[in-house]
Amino acid sequence: MKVLVPVKRVIDYNIKPRVKADGSGVETAGVKMSMNPFDEIAVEEAVRLKEKGVVSEIIAVSIGEPKAQDTLRTAMAMGADRSILVETDVVTEPLSVAKVLKALVEKEKPDLIILGKQAIDDDMNATGQMLAGLLGRPQATFASRVEVADGAVTVTREIDGGSQTVKLALPAIITADLRLNEPRYASLPNIMKARKKPMEKITPADLGVDMTPRLSVVSVAEPPERKAGIKLDSAAELVSRLRNEAKVI
């Protein structure tokens, strides 16, 4: 069976984002970019399913500027077989991305679509659910365990206060949470091999998708700074301060 894995190029999670001086957004020029960490987990899960013999082909997709092809190369170095770059310089939103993915799903007919639960730039946590809604297909978000058997997938999901298990008929949409797996690092030979794997380049217009954002950014600002307090020497002093000064115990 075929798996589609969408991946997003974002500011590396180790870099502290800086708000642009004019308040129009966050500075990305000259900043280290990487694959969204939740998408790495999604790619890893697809690769593990292929290693188990459940999956025969993994297609990685990225929607964004031409440099997103670096992210697709990373996905292929991890084990994706081929990739599709949907080039656009318009700001991507979960709704427009889900529409692009819907068109690709209808074309490629994958049995599973595995996405990261959230991109760490816009923190929307929405694309997988929206794709499932647009396709009218079952969804399992925040997956911590995925098992494919007999034309269905059983997913354990992280919920508030515990976990939930659901069973979905294929094709289905899964979004990956932190505990699903630990993504591998691409080895040098695999990075070299990935250069030769096929990458198709198309545009949203080729798929008939209007990318016009529904949300306009009025401004982006730094959050209010919290001031550092004082260092204390003992537990006794801390308890006394909490009781008499802060009055919280």
Partner 1 sequence: MTVLVYLDHEGGAIRQASRSAIAAAARLGDVDVLVTGPDAAAAAKSAAAIPGVKKVLQVTDTTGNSELAEPVAALLAELAAGYTHILAASSATAKNVLPRTAALLDVQPIPDIVAINDADTFVRPIYAGSALATVRSADAKKIITVRASSFDPVASEGGNATIEEVALPAGPGGSTFIATELSKSERPELESARVVVSGGNGMLNEENFKLLEPLADRLGAAIGASRAAVDKGFVSNEYQVGQTGKIVAPELYIAMGISGQIQHLAGMKDSKVIVAVNKDPEAPIFQVADYGIVGDLFTILPQLEAELDKAG
Site for partner 1 in 156-215 (CB under 8 A): 157-169, 172, 177-179, 213-215
Going residue by residue from 63 to 92, which x/- string records binding to partner 1, judged by CB under 8 A? Answer: ------------------------------
| Residue 139 binds partner 1 (CB under 8 A) | yes
Candidate list 22, 89, 189, 234; residue touching partner 1; CB under 8 A: 234
Nearer to partner 1, 2 or 137 (CB): 137
Candidate list 134, 191, 199, 207; residue touching partner 1; CB under 8 A: 134
- Three-state secondary structure of 182-207: CCCCCCHHHHHHHCCCCEEEECHHHH
Calpha distance 26→65 (Å, rounded)? 16
Region of 44-52, 81-89, 139-147, 192-200 interacting with partner 1 (CB under 8 A): 139-147
Half-sphere exposure of 142 (CA within 13 A, CB side): 10
**Residues 6+ away with beta carbon under 8 Å from 197:** 76, 80, 81, 82, 83
Count residues contacting partner 1 (CB under 8 A)? 80
* CA distance readout (Å), 229 to 93, 118, 232, 244, 248: 39, 33, 10, 16, 16
CB of 141 to partner 1, least distance (A): 5
- The label of the residue with tokens 């494919």 reads 148
CB 131 within 8 A of CB 98: yes
* CA distance readout (Å), 147 to 7, 87, 112, 143, 230: 22, 33, 12, 11, 51
**Site residues for partner 1, window 17-36 (CB under 8 A)?**
17, 19, 26
Candidate list 21, 149, 188, 248; residue touching partner 1; CB under 8 A: 248
**Site residues for partner 1, window 88-107 (CB under 8 A)?**
93-95, 98
CB of 179 to partner 1, least distance (A): 6
